[in-house]
Amino acid sequence: MLRQCGPAADQSPVLDMTLERELYAAAMAADEKVNMKLSARCEQRLHEASWQDELDKMKQVVDELDTKLEYVRDRVARQSGLLRMSSILV
């Protein structure tokens, strides 16, 4: 079976353009339906997933790291102060 690349002998170019437009419109409508279903599914999954728990855990870890970092900074500052004091005394 051979496919014809151009219009068939019994079809007019206007009919071909009309069919192409109808096919394009049908394809776009199908794409829109698929996109709408995909968007709805993605929104549903986002609502189903409990991201707040993971976000709270991450915030807790960041807060703990921040507290530890402040402790280390204070300790370094004290040690550098002690080193300065010992170098002055010597």
Per residue in 16-63, pLDDT (tens digit) is 666 777 777 777 777 777 778 878 887 887 777 667 788 888 899 999
Q: Which pLDDT value is given to residue 84?
A: 75
The answer to whether residue 80 scores a pLDDT higher than 70 is yes
DSSP 15-77: HHHHHHHHHHHHHHHHHHHHHHHHHHHHHHHHHHS-HHHHHHHHHHHHHHHHHHHHHHHHHHH
